[in-house]
Amino acid sequence: MDDTDPKAGTSTEPAAPDPETQNALAADCRRCPALVASRECISWGNGAADAEVMVVGEAPGAGSPDADRWRGGNWTGLAYTSRHSGRRVRELMTAVGHPEAYYTNAVKCFPGDGAGSNREPTAEERANCRPYLREEVGTVDPRVVVPTGKHATQSVLALEGKQIDGFIEHVLEPVDCPGLGVRVVPILHPSYQDVWLPEVEHTVASYRAAIADLLAER
């Protein structure tokens, strides 16, 4: 199988995460009835427990149960394990020097629309899941949190009581969060990176270089 992804600018297939790195924060969770009904399993954070970088997505997608490895968090129970978004963001983090990043989502369960596709998590669902995200930040104690996309960025900043208007103008703009003890560096969601790169005036190469520089700052 050819794993080359021309849009990602690489032919490197990242390693799928070890199931042993799953950080299950509860045996079960039923705070959100609609999510309980739509999910297959809870998509918990995973990766190095002492990672310097934590990557936060919005929520798991529907996933592909018949895929070989990249089935998605809704089926694997591991955040960012879909072939498109999960594989691409893991490859990105490896390319910018952080192969041992920790991966999680602001909302841990697949928010189904009733027809098999994603919908945006509701404000209540985000609030219900926020204690898990706060616990992960406290436990892993990363130096930098990297939210992918608008909604993940809003969820992370909400932990600090901060808000942003819009999103594109905040991409690659660090936000200090002393209450959490981290710097937040918003990046584009991997599913929409190719669409929005021209809007942030970057090529794939310059975008990666910028992320690498920001994550290296102390």
**Domain of 128: which CATH number?**
3.40.470.10
Q: What's the domain range around 91? A: 29-216
Task: Kindly give the confidence (pLDDT) of every residue in the chain, 218 residues in length, as a single tens digit, with 9 standing for 90 and above.
Answer: 233 343 344 446 788 899 999 999 999 999 999 999 999 999 999 999 999 999 999 999 999 999 988 999 999 999 999 998 999 999 999 999 999 999 999 999 999 999 999 999 999 999 999 999 999 999 999 999 999 999 999 999 999 999 999 999 999 999 999 999 999 999 999 989 999 999 999 999 999 999 999 999 98
Separate counts of helices (H) and strands (E) for the chain: 7, 7
Burial 47-63 (b: 16+ CB within 10 A, else e): bbeebbbbbbbbbbbbb
Asked, for residue 95, whether it belongs to a domain, the answer is yes
Total number of domains in the chain? 1
Place of tokens 């970088």: 53
Asked, for residue 12, whether it belongs to a domain, the answer is no
Residue 218 neighbours by CB distance under 10 Å: 4
Asked, for residue 115, whether it belongs to a domain, the answer is yes
Is the pTM higher than 0.85? yes
Asked, for residue 186, whether it belongs to a domain, the answer is yes
Reduce the DSSP state of residue 147 to 3 states and report it: strand
- Give residues with Cβ within 8 angstroms of 85, minimum separation 6: 57, 61, 189, 190, 191
Q: Is the dihedral of CA 126, 195, 112, 24 positive or negative?
A: negative
**What pLDDT is attached to residue 4?**
37
Asked, for residue 2, whether it belongs to a domain, the answer is no
Asked, for residue 15, whether it belongs to a domain, the answer is no
What angle (nearest 5°) sits at the alpha carbon of residue 159, between those of residues 156 and 162?
Answer: 85
Reduce the DSSP state of residue 182 to 3 states and report it: strand
Any bridge partners for residue 44, and if so which? 78
Distance (Å, whole) CA 23 – CA 103:
10
Distance (Å, whole) CA 125 – CA 34:
9
Asked, for residue 21, whether it belongs to a domain, the answer is no
Asked, for residue 11, whether it belongs to a domain, the answer is no
